[in-house]
Amino acid sequence: MSRKSWLIIIAGLTVGSMLVCAGLFGLTMWFLDNIGADSSTLAFGDAIAIVRVEGVIVSGEAPPPNPFGGVNGMAYSQTIIKYLQDADENEDVKAIILYVDSPGGSVYASDEIYRQLMIMNKPVIAAMGSLAASGGYYVSAPTQEIWVSPHTLTCSIGVISQFLNLEEFGEEFGVKTITVKSGKFKDTGNPFRSFNEEDRALWQDIIDEAYDGFVNIVAEGRGMEEATVRQLADGRVCTGKQAQKMGFVDELGYLPEVIDRAAEVGGIEGEPRIIEYNEETSIWEAFAASAAQPNDPLESLKQMIHYHPGSSLMYLYVGP
């Protein structure tokens, strides 16, 4: 057999092997994407839904999961709202658990979730994880019951806005900014000039307005006097035990106990079926998202420090 014939045979075997490998890979991905998906979709009967608020609360929808990048530590308001709506419309779901493990986050995003909770038709019980502070408490307040571990850090009822001041840094390294503005407050928060008393008074009014809203929501959700809430809502973080004594939570317990309670509230006899609402993006979409969004160190740093241009109102616990 000639050398040319051997080369043709080898090339054919190589191409054939590649096609077989590609087929096996595709079959594996299909299996993971379909058979390995939420198994609750294959079951029937009364169920408890779990919707998770984990990480810093931000507005918008969650991006497709990155198979190489891990979890981004954000709780996206529109995605959580969608899960709540889906659970409310699912005839099999008899009660919903809002599992909160979050330091809070955006005032706007927290309020979006709160407003959805206020129009739910089915009972919703909050279960707090290791941390459910500030905005994490805000979204728990309207639920029918709040369950918490004795060791959970919660409360931190208050509002915060933080501004960077790089004026001295700029002077040391010769960095100058030129600002053209239409009014004296237009550049409030500019990191290259001092934050003066007029700026502080302006932002204090904004903070106080958001704080009043937080206090009213807690008072309404917990059936407490506004004055009582205001006395305790000084931004302090507290343990689950302390929160129960102050009237901010109902019961001490962990997720298994909350599931049992949700089944009782939902009228389910026996062990309930659990439906976890989470991202339903296919494995192909995840790989595409990973390829389209390379790991940018600057973007990772911005996420880590919750960087955003200017300064937004935050229901955020900024402790260690």
> Which of the residues are catalytic?
134, 186
Taking the C-alpha atoms of 239, 106, 221 and 54 in order, what is their torsion angle to the nearest 10 degrees?
-60
How would DSSP label each residue in 14-78? HHHHHHHHHHHHHHHHHHHHHTTS-GGGG--S-EEEEEEEESEEESS-PPPPBTTTB---EEEHH
Bridge-based pairing state of the strands 104-106 and 314-316: antiparallel
With tokens 């000039």, the residue in question is 193
End-to-end alpha carbon distance in the chain: 74
Q: Are the C-beta atoms of residues 215 and 157 closer than 8 Å to each other?
A: yes
Bridge-based pairing state of the strands 153-155 and 237-239: antiparallel
Cα Rg, the chain, nearest whole Å: 25
Q: Are the C-beta atoms of residues 107 and 311 closer than 8 Å to each other?
A: no
Q: In terms of residues, how long is the chain?
A: 320
Give the dihedral sign, CA 73/79/84/87.
Answer: negative
The distance of Cα 164 from the centroid of its chain, to the nearest Å, equals 25
